[in-house]
Structure 1
Amino acid sequence: MEKSPHFKPAQCALLLIDHQVGTTQLIKNMNPDQSIRNAITLLKAALAFDMPIVMTSSQEDHVQGPLHPSLERVAPEAFAKRVKRQGVVNAWDDPHFSEAVSATGRKQLIIAAVTTDICLVFPTISAVEAGYEVQAVLDASGSSFSIGEETSRRRMERAGVWLTSTNTMVAELVGNWATPQGMALVPLLAADPPMLPVY
């Protein structure tokens, strides 16, 4: 069995794909608000460690809608620099996105996308094929149907993507809760954080 890589903040970048107010409504296997809360937790972890953040959206002027406003409130600079795709399904196939990832200089990628079965599965596999180590954060993503979620998870694993959850990913980055970052981030792992508005 292949040994799991240990992700270190200094080697990581966070990629958030298509967490848009319209697209979140496609999530049925979990509460859509929870997926957004988890994406926000990942953002705060990335900011605590000064990790590069790359956001992207697809057709914001269509049914997908704009990126969730909470992303802008938490990380306004990354939000302003987001890659606005015009319909390319696999974000990695958009050269503006893959070039933005390359420009971070990081080889370990933490990726969350609004839908596991459409927005997450393809770019995670493409990133592995491009030579990156990838962890896909499954509870900051979701699917409309259980079959789509399950088959996408299997496909990612078989392609060499490591599957994880928000709390596990944050704990791996922190390493020691007694550090300044650990003390700042541990409250975010509470079981019942306040609900975020979807709109």
Structure 2
Amino acid sequence: MKNNQVPANDPLLTADNHALLLIDHQYLQLLAVRSHSADTVVTNTTLLAKGAKIFNVPTLLTTAYAERQEIFQELQAVFPEQKPIDRTGLNSWDDPRVRKWVEDTGKKKLVIAGLWTEVCLSFAVLSTLAAGYEVYIVTDAAGGGSTEGHERGVQRMVQAGARPLTAAVYISELQRDWSREETAGEVAKLFAELGGAFGQGLRWEWQLLGLKEGTR
């Protein structure tokens, strides 16, 4: 198989076969998360969002009671032009605006992350699965009110058919091959910025080799 070619029965996510939903990444929910540190959730959600933007993945932001708590600014800054769909209900799939947005993308695969895992994320995932979508959950760009709440929420979604992955795996799956030069440099710079130890390793390699940041 030549570089950049994929088999007809390819099981992986690609930039053009899915949409991304980011549900209620807001300050009150974030401050109440106990399954992860707030920094971890912010970093991984921002990594996820920036990765989706590099690959031009259709992305929807949602909030609940936005007049009381905005979406956290690191995420909003990735999509400054987008006003999140604001709801009062706990299940974003109950909102006809969200359903219409998803339907209008024409995608049958959805990648979803949100706060809290056991409530707003789980409800949306269970509903979209029931509606016939193939659903992936980004577990480290989510968080629960307790470790048990997060774990039970993930278990419930996986038992229903959701497929778990992490933000770094999501971006790696979309990049897939470093010979894809149109995105490779931006992905490498993103990992350097938000990719933890791997990102620091990239920066060290660039420094040792005297290379420009983002070189692959």
TM-score band by shorter chain is 0.7 to 0.9
- 8 Å CA contact retained: 2:51, 2:190: no
Q: Distance in 1 between matches of 2:31 and 2:189?
A: 27
1:83 aligns with 85
Alignment of 1:5-154 (within 5 A): 5-62=11-68, 65-77=69-81, 79-80=82-83, 82-85=84-87, 87-154=88-155
How many residue pairs match? The answer is 187
Q: Distance in 1 between matches of 2:47 and 2:179?
A: 18
- The gaps in structure 1 that reach 5 residues or longer are 194-199
1:174 aligns with 175
CA drift at 1:188: 2.8
CA drift at 1:45: 1.4
CA drift at 1:186: 2.7
2:186 aligns with 184
- 8 Å CA contact retained: 1:35, 1:114: no
Q: Distance in 2 between matches of 1:175 and 1:120?
A: 27
Counterpart amino acid of residue 75 in structure 2 = L
Length-normalised TM-score, structure 1: 0.87
- 1:69-108 Cα offsets, whole Å, 9 max, x none, are 122211112x32x2111x2001111111111111111111
Q: Distance in 2 between matches of 1:37 and 1:15?
A: 17
- 1:108-152 Cα offsets, whole Å, 9 max, x none, are 111110211112111011111111111100000011212211211
SS of residue in 2 equivalent to 1:131: coil
Q: Distance in 2 between matches of 1:40 and 1:160?
A: 26
- The gaps in structure 2 that reach 5 residues or longer are 1-9, 200-216
SS of residue in 2 equivalent to 1:9: coil
- 1:25-70 Cα offsets, whole Å, 9 max, x none, are 11112111221221111111111111111111000123xx111112
CA drift at 1:10: 0.6
User: Whose radius of gyration is greater, 1 or 2?
Assistant: 2
- Percent of pairs with identical residues: 31
SS of residue in 1 equivalent to 2:35: coil
- 8 Å CA contact retained: 1:177, 1:186: no
CA drift at 1:178: 3.2
Length-normalised TM-score, structure 2: 0.81
CA drift at 1:177: 2.4
Counterpart amino acid of residue 146 in structure 1 = T
SS of residue in 2 equivalent to 1:142: coil
CA drift at 1:163: 0.7
Q: Distance in 1 between matches of 2:65 and 2:139?
A: 23
Q: Distance in 2 between matches of 1:123 and 1:105?
A: 18
The list of structure 1 runs, each at least 4 consecutive aligned residues, that deviate by more than 3 angstroms after superposition, is none
1:160 aligns with 161
